[in-house]
Structure 1
Amino acid sequence: MIFNIENSDVKVEIPALKHYSSDLLSFNINKLEVNYTGNSNPSIPACVQCSHPAKPMPDSYIYYFEVKINSINSTRPSIVIGFTDESFMLNKVIGSSRKSFGLRSDGKLIHTAVQTMDYCPKFTQNDIIGCGIAFISQKIFFTRNGILIGKAFDFTENFPMFASATLSSPQDSVLFNFVGPFGFKLDEVLADEKKVFNNQVQEEKVDCRNIFYLVKEYLEYEGYPDTLQALEEHMDLKKTEPSNSGVISECYKSLDSSCQNCETQGKICNFCTKKIIETVEAKTNIQIPEPRNHYNSISLSSLYLKNTDFLKNPSKNSSEHNTKNLKQRGILRQIIITGNIKEAIKYLTEFFPEMLNDELCMLYLTMQEFIELIKSREIYKALDFGREKLAKFRNYTVYYRKNYDIPISVSHAFGIIAYKNPHESPLAAFLTWAQLDLTADLVNNRIMMRTQRPRSCLERVFKHFLCMENLYQETSFVKIF
């Protein structure tokens, strides 16, 4: 069932006073104005609370409300304005408990009953007393008739606080304003909060090595052994033995230059690849044939991965198995990027045989092999291949990379075969190098999912960053800070 939520009315509750039956208070119909009606001697205090807890207002990180003093007992301090927690006893005076903070009408701050101090002049009729929370600097402040009095309390505990007022005299009457417009302009407090926020950011100490290890773990996960090695050598995190990767760039003598597989494919075959790795790991100087087609050949420096300190000392989130198969995943990635999908499947069969039963892994490779036939203009072969290999995946989803990864059904992707010039078709992105890189990413991810390895920490950090960015944009907080 599909729900159309665009036209549905979303009920937004406007903050008001919590209404409760009491012989001591009478509430106006708008639930914003309250009068004290008790007549006992001595009088019994009565507290009112806002229906909503204090939360940052839009476009800021501040909560603020104002109370107009309609009338007041001028002979004794009978009104207290401030904040209370949800469990506060409503027959108590604000400030009589550890989780309540108040400004009394005689101008004294009150907290935990015994702690009082002079703060401002006494309240008079028609005064507008404002009270707010600056969440970043963790302080409670008060205003009077549009003028900031200053910081009143610090708070470090994390609990919901509610705007409140205590009345205790028959002359007491107040009017709450929770949504504005307010007599006090918040610009001054916002500017102070911005300074506090910027100072906190500047004072935050970040060990740069944590950044390197985030990148390292990402490279391990995605299967980039060359880049991982280069990162370590550049950062010189630990003393390592000199790299032997330059050895494999010399001309052929140690390898059989007449290898039929290399000759047929025009690129280094799986057998020669293994021999290169074994020889270099044994630190034997070798010479290999110059690749006949540099664009389609495997990058020789990517065939060798030195046992670096990164690999000997994997990060906490890296299992020994994942670090060990990094070399194989790196080679598999390079083979896929050359477009030699048959060779990639052979390599997969040898080092990751369990992946042959992974439908999505085989789908991505099969789709890429189909695309390679299109690129080489072997249309009839591609047609037969599609009928034989891709038909069973027709209801599956694949992706093509065009600035970002776009999902498309296999049946729709197969339509690329109908274009006379597929490079100018809407599906031309399938024919780019970026698509090969995407296929390598998808296959590597399937391998990592098989090992039940969680996504890299760097990816999670980036997702958190995007979520925070979206959150700030939604609340317009970014406009302030």
Structure 2
Amino acid sequence: MNVERVGDVVYSDYRRIIGVEEEEVPTHLNTNDTGPYLVVSADNLFVKYIGRGRSDYDVGSLQANCPAPIKKLLYYFEMYVENKGRRGKVSIGFTDQQFNKHRQPGWETHTFGYHGDDGKVFHDSGHGMRFGPTYTTGDTVGAGINKASQDVFFTKNGKFIGSITRDYEGVLFPTVGLHSPDEGVVVNFGQQEFVFNIQQLTQDLFQ
């Protein structure tokens, strides 16, 4: 039997890794529960915070329209910070289906979040860990799941920042969080070319 190969990898395995097999993937933000703090553009990719951000429950978070695909060994999306607002409390990460959308990703159980105001990563706790640089207006940050290494990783302006262990096996939704007046972000689920070279990271899985 003639088996097509990509490098030293059987083509069927290659298709599984890059996610060519048919599976629903996130394409936009889920606006079924935006709450009182957010307004979303008609294409469901831009979101702005209009609340006051006075308490830890004045957060406006939105998940993608579906979870990150489970058949892909590697999944990734990005967020462009159009406006950091008054305090730059924007965040990116992954959350489970029961996530409270008035909280930041990372603060609740089975959630992961990289926060712009302090550069900390949060996981299952309101107490963050030192992780990477802060980010602000004009920056592009990304979040990904690498099932090969069982971790969640983050990027900033095309550079890999770091990763934390993924210790939750359930489905996870790409999520963004906003928490101070005038914050605005644009989410890219792959409609546009990513700033980070995700293709290179995909190729590295074969080595």
TM-score by length of 1: 0.35
* Counterpart Cα distance in 2 of 1:40 and 1:185: 34
CA 1:191 to 1:21, structure 2 compared with 1: closer, same or farther past 3 Å? closer
More helix per residue:
1
| The one of 156, 161, 168 aligned to 2:167 | 156
Aligned to 2:66: 52
How big is the shift at 1:64? Answer: 0.5
Question: 1:162 is matched by which residue type in structure 2?
Answer: F
Larger radius of gyration: 1
Whole-Å Cα distance in 1 between the matches of residues 62 and 91 of structure 2? Answer: 11
Deviation at 1:125, TM superposition (A): 0.5
Please say if 1:95 is aligned against 2:106.
yes
Distance 1:14 1:101, change over 3 A: closer
Secondary structure of the residue that 1:117 maps to in structure 2? coil
**Structure number with higher relative contact order (C-alpha < 8 Å, ≥ 6 residues apart):** 2
Measured in 1, the distance between the counterparts of 2:155 and 2:144 equals 8
Which deviations, in whole Å up to 9, do the C-alpha atoms of 1:283-325 show, x marking residues without a partner? xxxxxxxxxxxxxxxxxxxxxxxxxxxxxxxxxxxxxxxxxxx
Structure 2 partner of 1:138: 150
Distance 2:28 2:119 in 1: 26
- SS of the equivalent of 1:190 reads helix
Say if 2:119 and 2:131, in contact at 8 Å, map to a contact too. Answer: yes
Shift of 1:166: 1.1
- State whether structure 2 residue 194 is matched by structure 1 residue 182: yes
Q: Deviations over 1:77-109 (max 9, x none)?
A: 511210000110111121112200000112111
Whether the 8 Å contact between 2:88 and 2:136 is mirrored in structure 1 is no
For the aligned residue pairs, the C-alpha RMSD in angstroms reads: 2.2
For residue 15 of structure 1, the aligned residue among 27, 43, 48 is 27
Deviations 1:413-440 (A, max 9, x none): xxxxxxxxxxxxxxxxxxxxxxxxxxxx
Measured against aligned partners, the alpha-carbon deviations of 1:173-204 in whole angstroms (never above 9, x if no partner) come to 00000023111112442244224xxxxxxxxx
Does residue 169 of structure 1 match 2:180?
Answer: yes
* Counterpart position of 1:72: 84
| 2:39 aligned partner | 26
User: Within 2, Cα distance between the matches of 1:99 and 1:182?
Assistant: 26
Q: 1:38 aligns with which of 51, 65, 87?
A: 51
Task: Quote the residue 1:63 is aligned against.
Answer: 75
Aligned residues: 180
Match of 1:234 in 2: none
The aligned runs of 1:147-296 (5 Å cut-off) are 147-151=159-163, 153-179=164-190, 180-195=192-207
Match of 2:121 in 1: 109
1:125 match: 137
**Alpha-carbon spacing, 1:38–1:115, altered in 2? closer, same or farther (3 Å):** closer
Q: Distance in 1 between matches of 2:200 and 2:69?
A: 19
2:59 alignment partner AA: P
Map of 1:360 onto structure 2: none
1:114, CA displacement in angstroms? 4.5
Pick the structure with more strand per residue. Answer: 2
Residues 372-406 of structure 1 show CA distances to partners (whole Å, capped at 9, x for unaligned) of xxxxxxxxxxxxxxxxxxxxxxxxxxxxxxxxxxx
Cα 1:113–1:13 shift into 2, 3 Å: closer
CA distance in 1 between partners of 2:121 and 2:108 (Å): 13
Q: Given the superposition, is the C-alpha separation of residues 46 and 110 from structure 1 closer, same or farther in structure 2, using an over 3 Å criterion?
A: same
Q: For the Cα contact (< 8 Å) 1:36–1:172, is it kept in 2? A: yes
2:5 aligns with none
Distance 1:172 1:194, change over 3 A: same
Shift in Å, 1:171: 2.0
Contact kept, 8 Å, 2:26 with 2:68, in 1: the verdict is: no
Counterpart AA for 1:24: Y
Following the alignment from structure 1 to structure 2, what is the Cα–Cα distance between the partners of residues 113 and 161?
A: 17
Structure 1: gaps (5+ residues): 1-11, 196-481
Structure 2 gaps, min length 5:
1-23
- In structure 1, how many angstroms separate the alpha carbons of the residues matched to 2:25 and 2:105? 26
Task: Tell me if structure 1 keeps the 8 A contact 2:93–2:105.
Answer: yes
CA distance in 2, matches of 1:100, 1:170: 24
Distance in 2, matches of 1:107 and 1:157, equals 23
Q: Taking every aligned residue pair, what percent have the same amino acid on both sides?
A: 29
